[in-house]
Amino acid sequence: MSPKNILQGENTDEFDGVGMEGNLQCGDQMMVVIKVDKEKEVITDCQWKTYGCASAIASTSILSEMVKGRTLDDAFNISPKEVAMELGGLPDHKIHCSVLGDKALRAAINDFYTRNGMLDKVKQSQVKIVCQCMSISDHDIEDAVLEGARTYFELQERTKLGTVCGQCKDEAESLLEKFKHIHFGA
Amino acid sequence: MKVYFDNNATTPLHPEVKKELTAAMEMFGNPSSMHSYGREARANVEDARSRVARFIGAHENEIVFVGSGSEANNTVLSLFVCSSGQCIPGLKMRNTIITTKIEHPCVLETSDCLAHRGVKVKYLDVDQYGKIYLDQLDSMLDDSVGLVSVMMANNEIGTMQDIAAITEMVHERGAYMHTDAVQAVGKVPVDVSKLGVDFLTISGHKIYGPKGVGALFVKNGIPYCPFIRGGHQEKGRRAGTENTLGIMGLARAVDMRVLEMDDEHQRLLVLKQALRKGIEERIDDIYFNGHPTDSLAGTLNVSFPGAEGEAILLYLDLEGIAVSTGSACASGSLDPSHVLLATGVDAERAHGSIRLSLGRESSMEEVDYVLDVLPRTIERIRNMSTAYIKGGLHATSR
């Protein structure tokens, strides 16, 4: 196991964008730093550090190799599934460990845009509240799917979504199918 | 070098057990059959029963052979969801179970399930070393309590409970006492006549016996109801044709424990002390989990903040060293060890914990090898950890 592109030392000053996701209490944290060719908006270097398990280490190592030479736009859209495929697959219960790397990469790209006054390019991943009663967002649904929810009932067990008025059921079910498809090809 | 420091998960078969199993493979009769094949098998099973009974100070008719420690624990707890007079006075009278927050999942999940079926379950807290508070138990014990289940030695941190004292309190209030002694039997002296417990769980594969076999001690005269029904085996207490090979292997494992346990205990204490001291001297910023003295001789649980447990486990595995971790990642859930959290350890320390559990084959050479590999493994993982970057949680600690 020889992970590539680990940031040596503690200093991130020489990089053009820094992204951090997760936290130590939750058991995983990821930092991705990038250098950017500002003319071409192409990533020239990508390094990282993680407090995370082997899946997080492996997937971020692969990701850091994949993004070099790609445009910011292109890199921003790399999905966890692509990374997992590049790795030769991950067990289902390990998928959620691997998504942190590309979340941190997107944060680093947004950080680059912010620093360079390109605020119009900052892509916020829009959070949409699906269940108004319990305040459950599409991100919460995605997390629940990554943590193992496969049916509407399991989704409800994990998020309490749709347990009050029930009006969000159709939208939640279609998001459930969408995230199952994105992350597990199901 | 290969080092197996995961003996609390399971143990290699004792060479004598292997011999016993190999010889016993020729004996295939069903102990329930009346012909010579059956009688031979029956004689062997009953001989095994008396040896297991003797080992824990029980009468032979107090031993029920089961398929695992988990089955034994499920059996005892499930005596509850029944209002028959034969079982522990059911839902109407004594409908409360008390257990602890650090039990094995087979007790905790069964308790959760019982709660859905109308049984009231209370969970005892533990102190920073994993010991229950006797005064909390005292305050929980009232006439509604039917059963108390407290594990004798914890699988993750090795902490031992004073089962005799707990049992005395429980009996004073008229409740029954169960202890999951899977990690204790065969490592420390266990005598049910001294402990006074009503039920006690034993597993074969934790003491160099085969997997798929365990034993449940049920004190004579205590209400009992089978968990697996539909056969007269085990005097109607556990249906299913006896696992003759497993039972004979368990008995042989127990015989060997009688011969080896005391010396091994002393030897493991020395090894653990060397391991503990070596880790302390060579690695900064560490925490040992569990009771410093009142703990299993072979179990050492240690946290390395800034390093994630599953990563430690896999890097050690690449060097031939097998350990386990309390990290969430290794468990398949998102929560780290419930045992460590119950002792008040914060989530980061729990995620960064590993358990080294030594056994009869462990040696000082192996301890030295681990002390050689572990410091550079931790250094390597901490070097790639976000915990030490500018603004990170441990930014100033190195």
Is residue B98 predicted with pLDDT exceeding 90?
yes
Determine the average pLDDT of the residues in B206-214: 98
**Mean pLDDT in residue range A122-133:** 72
Contact A51 B347 (CB under 8 A): no
DSSP single-letter state for residue A186: -
Q: Return the pLDDT at B330.
A: 59
Cβ atoms within 10 Å, residue A41: 19
Name the phi and psi angles at A109, rounded to 5.
Answer: -65, -45
Question: What's the pLDDT score for residue B106?
Answer: 94
- Over residues A138-142, the mean pLDDT reads 86
Chain B positions touching chain A (beta carbons under 8 Å) = 306-311, 314-315, 318, 327-330, 332, 334, 336, 346-348, 351, 383-390, 392-393, 395
Where do the DSSP E strands lie in chain B?
A: 3-4, 63-66, 96-100, 120-124, 145-149, 176-180, 199-203, 214-218, 287-289, 299-303, 321-322, 324-325, 353-357
The confidence score (pLDDT) of residue A127 equals 67
Q: Which among A27, A49, A55 has CB closest to B328?
A: A27
Burial of A132 (0-12, 13-18, 19+ CB in 10 A): exposed
State pTM to two decimals: 0.88
CATH code (residue A103): 3.90.1010.10
Instruction: Catalogue all structural domains in chain B, each as residue range(s) with its CATH number.
Output: 3-8+260-388 (3.90.1150.10), 15-256 (3.40.640.10)
Q: A134 and A45, same structural domain?
A: no
Strand partners, B98: B122, B148
Show residues of chain B in contact with A97, CB under 8 Å.
329
pLDDT at B223: 86
Range of the structural domain that residue A61 is part of:
17-121
Burial class of residue B204 in the structure, from the number of CB atoms within 10 Å of its CB (0-12 exposed, 13-18 middle, 19+ buried): buried
Question: How large is the average pLDDT for residues A84-94?
Answer: 82
B398, pLDDT greater than 60: no
A4 is a domain residue: no
B308/A27 Cβ within 8 A: yes
ipTM summary value: 0.78
Is A103 inside a domain boundary? yes
Shared domain check, A84 and A141: no
Tell me if B389 and A93 make a contact (CB, 8 A cut-off): no
Is the pLDDT at A164 greater than 80? The verdict is no
Band (B189; pLDDT cuts 50, 70, 90): very high
Give the residue from A121, A141, A167 where a domain finishes: A121
Give mean pLDDT, residues A99-122. 89
> Is A8 contained in some domain?
no
Interface test with B, best of A20, A32, A48, A53 (most B CBs within 10 A): A53
What mean pLDDT comes out for the span B116-140? 96
Q: Using CA coordinates, name the residue in chain A closest to B349.
A: A25
Task: Note whether residue A143 is domain-resident.
Answer: yes
- pLDDT above 90 (res B83): no
Q: Is A168 a catalytic residue?
A: no
Whether A14 has its CB under 8 Å from any CB of chain B: the answer is no
Say yes or no to pLDDT of B89 above 70.
no
pLDDT of residue B32 exceeding 70, the answer is: yes
Model confidence band, residue B86 (pLDDT cutoffs 50, 70, 90): low
Residues in a beta bridge with A28? A23
Q: Which of residues 20-59 of A touch B (CB under 8 A)?
A: 20, 24-31, 49-57
Hey, are the CB atoms on A1 and B336 less than 8 Å from each other? no
A7 in a structural domain: no
Please indicate if any CB of chain B lies within 8 Å of the CB of A99. Answer: no
Does A35 share its domain with A82?
A: yes
Do β-strands B287-289 and B299-303 pair in parallel, antiparallel, or remain unpaired?
antiparallel
Q: What residue of A is the nearest CA neighbor of B387?
A: A51
**Chain-chain contact of B329 with A53 (C-beta, under 8 angstroms):** yes
Nearest by Cα to B42 from B32, B52, B51: B32
Assign residue A147 the CATH number of its domain. 1.10.10.1100
Quick one: pLDDT at residue B129?
98
Output the pLDDT for position B36. 97
**Partner-chain contact A50 B330, CB within 8 Å:** no
Looking at the fold, whether A103 and A26 belong to one and the same domain comes out as yes
Q: What is the CA radius of gyration of chain A?
A: 17
Q: In this prediction, what percent of chain B has a pLDDT beyond 70?
A: 94
Given an 8 Å threshold on Cβ–Cβ distance, is B386 in contact with A96?
Answer: no
Residue A1 lies in a domain: no
Q: How far apart are CA B43 and CA B41, in angstroms?
A: 5
Q: B279 vs chain A: nearest CA distance in angstroms?
A: 21
| Crossing angle for the helix pair B364-383 and B244-282, to the nearest 10 degrees | 60
Q: Which amino acid is at B355?
A: R
Residue A138 pLDDT exceeds 80: yes
Q: Are B299 and B188 in contact (CB under 8 A)?
A: no
- Provide the number of structural domains found in chain A: 2
Note whether A55 and A142 are same-domain residues: no
Contact between A30 and A60 (Cβ < 8 Å): yes
Q: Which residues fall within 8 angstroms of residue A123, CB to CB, at 6 or more apart?
A: A76, A106, A109, A110
Nearest to B386 among A3, A11, A30 (CB): A30
What's the rounded mean pLDDT across residues B49-68?
98
> B332 — alpha (psi -120 to 50), left (phi > 0) or beta?
left
**Mean per-residue pLDDT of chain B:** 93
- Claim to verify: residue A23 and residue A85 sit in the same structural domain: yes
DSSP reduced 3-state for B8:
coil
| Cβ-nearest to B384 among A6, A25, A97 | A6
Residue of A nearest to B331 (CA): A93
Percent of chain A exceeding pLDDT 90 equals 35
Chain B hits for A3, CB-CB cut-off 8 Å, are: 384
Q: Are residues A97 and A180 in the same domain?
A: no
Whether residues A116 and A173 share a domain: the answer is no
Task: Check whether residue A94 and residue A177 sit in a common domain.
Answer: no
pLDDT interval class at B169 (50, 70, 90): very high
Nearest residue of A to residue B345 by CA position?
Answer: A25
- Tell me: do A135 and A109 sit in the same domain: no
Give B171: exposed, middle or buried? Use CB within 10 Å, 0-12, 13-18, 19+.
middle
A3 part of a folded domain: no
- The mean pLDDT of B154-168, rounded to a whole number, is 98
A2 close contact with B: CB closer than 8 A: no
Mean pLDDT of B290-304: 97
Active-site entry in A26, A46, A131, A165 = A26
| B386 with A97: Cβ contact below 8 A | no
Contact A30, A20 (CB under 8 A): yes
Q: Indicate whether A174 belongs to any domain.
A: yes
Whether B386 sits inside 8 A of A27 (CB atoms) is no
Do A57 and B384 lie within an 8 Å CB cutoff? Answer: yes
When scoring B346, B386, B394 by the number of chain A Cβ atoms within 10 A, the one with the most, hence best to mutate, is B386
Q: How far is C-alpha B24 from the chain's CA centre?
A: 27
Q: For tokens 């004996």, what's the residue?
A: B27
User: B329 catalytic, yes or no?
Assistant: yes
Tokens of B234: 């085990």
The pLDDT of B32-45, averaged and rounded, is: 97
B318–A1: do the CB atoms touch at under 8 Å?
Answer: yes
Least confident of A101-105, A131-135, B68-72, B73-77: A131-135
For residue B245, give the nearest of B203, B200, B209, B202 by alpha carbon.
B209
Q: Do A110 and A119 meet the contact criterion of CB atoms below 8 Å apart?
A: no
Longest dimension (CA), chain B: 78
The predicted structure's pLDDT at residue A22: 81
* Two tokens, residue B229: 């029904």
In this structure, the answer to whether residues A94 and A133 fall within a common structural domain is no
pLDDT at site B77: 93
Looking at beta carbons, which residues of chain A come within 8 Å of B328?
A: 27
Same-domain pairing of A109 and A142: no
* Whole-number pLDDT of residue B80: 75
Does the structure show a pLDDT above 80 at B8?
yes
- Say which residue the tokens 């309490």 belong to: A160
Secondary structure class of B260 (helix, strand, coil):
helix
